[in-house]
Structure 1
């Protein structure tokens, strides 16, 4: 067993939503890795985050896990794919959490954040990776001071450190994600880049003018 596999096994917990996980695997739906989920949920416990904004619902897997942290957690989640949105709503109904989640069928790039019920305790960015910077710039202002901003897939399954990439689209994706990661690292914000799952970036939002 390699060291990262050992860490992954230590961070992972018994699956709470096996049917959702099975659906994701069968239909090849990208979802958060189990160890990254547990690290995120741990930070929710530490900060007491209850009002969550999620960019990228997919089939509702990560939203269900966030809702499982506490009965007081509420999630506003945005998804642009109608089939994924419909499936997520069905799973929310199955697990009887529909009253605590507001699933929005829209492209997050077309939403006026002022229309959302902010401020939020936490923002999870887990949508199209080339738009990480856009989502961060447009939605992080609606996270309260002291809140969390979490970005998944910052390693792109190792693509982010590859030098020779033949595909133009993959190369462009790598460049955008890498540029965003480096911008955050150089910003002075209180942040951590964690090698769990496909890479998890955790940022603590500070008051204006305060640096780490």
Structure 2
């Protein structure tokens, strides 16, 4: 067992939403890894985040977990896939969280950010090639003490591979790495965490 697997095992929690988790596994819907989810929720508790903007709803798995941290958390979440959006809305409804969710079915690249309001946390978990675009578009909506969390910054380990034969995959990985390097050399405070598929926490 590697050190990373050892820590991942310790980070495992009892699944709060087994039906949503099982659906994701059965239908191959990408969801946040368990140990990354644990860090994400821990950050919410530590920093008392209440107004979250999520880019990439999928079926609402991470959204449900974030809302479970406290009853006064409100989530605005954006998903461009209508089928996934509808499933997420049903999941929020089933688990009694829909009243605290503004679920938007739209391409996040096209939405007017000024219509969304202000937030104290931004969670980016959508198209990995667009991490920098989403960061630059939605970061201005954060309060001064707001934080940004980005999932999948390791691209399943491909960010350190020198030769990727698939051109589209290679292009995506290069964009993921370029965003990581941008953040690392920016004036933002950042922590790159080797949990799950890599989690990035950014603050001003």
Same fold by TM-score, threshold 0.5 exceeded?
yes
Aligned to 1:183, what secondary structure does the other structure show? helix
C-alpha separation between the residues in 2 aligned to 1:14 and 1:203? 28
Q: Residues 8-58 of structure 1: CA distance to partner in whole angstroms, max 9, x if unpaired?
A: 011221110010000000000000001101101111111100100000000
Matched, 1:94 2:94: yes
Q: Residues 160-192 of structure 1: CA distance to partner in whole angstroms, max 9, x if unpaired?
A: 111011010011011100000000000031110
Partner of 2:76: 76
Matched, 1:114 2:114: yes
C-alpha separation between the residues in 2 aligned to 1:67 and 1:125? 16
Aligned to 1:110, what secondary structure does the other structure show? coil
Q: Residues 126-176 of structure 1: CA distance to partner in whole angstroms, max 9, x if unpaired?
A: 000000000000000001111110000000101111101101001101110
C-alpha separation between the residues in 2 aligned to 1:188 and 1:67? 30
TM-score by length of 1: 0.95
The aligned runs of 1:34-183 (5 Å cut-off) are 34-116=34-116, 118-183=117-182
Q: What number of residue pairs does the alignment pair up?
A: 204
C-alpha separation between the residues in 2 aligned to 1:109 and 1:75? 19
Matched, 1:20 2:20: yes
C-alpha separation between the residues in 2 aligned to 1:32 and 1:109? 21
TM-score by length of 2: 0.99
Partner of 1:210: none
Aligned to 1:188, what secondary structure does the other structure show? coil
C-alpha separation between the residues in 1 aligned to 2:6 and 2:144? 35
C-alpha separation between the residues in 1 aligned to 2:12 and 2:78? 26
- The answer for unaligned runs of 5 or more in structure 1 is 207-212
Q: CA RMSD in A?
A: 0.6
Aligned to 2:109, what secondary structure does the other structure show? helix
- The answer for unaligned runs of 5 or more in structure 2 is none
C-alpha separation between the residues in 2 aligned to 1:183 and 1:127? 18
C-alpha separation between the residues in 2 aligned to 1:42 and 1:7? 15
C-alpha separation between the residues in 2 aligned to 1:121 and 1:12? 26
Partner of 1:209: none
Structure 1 moving runs of 4+ over 3 Å: none
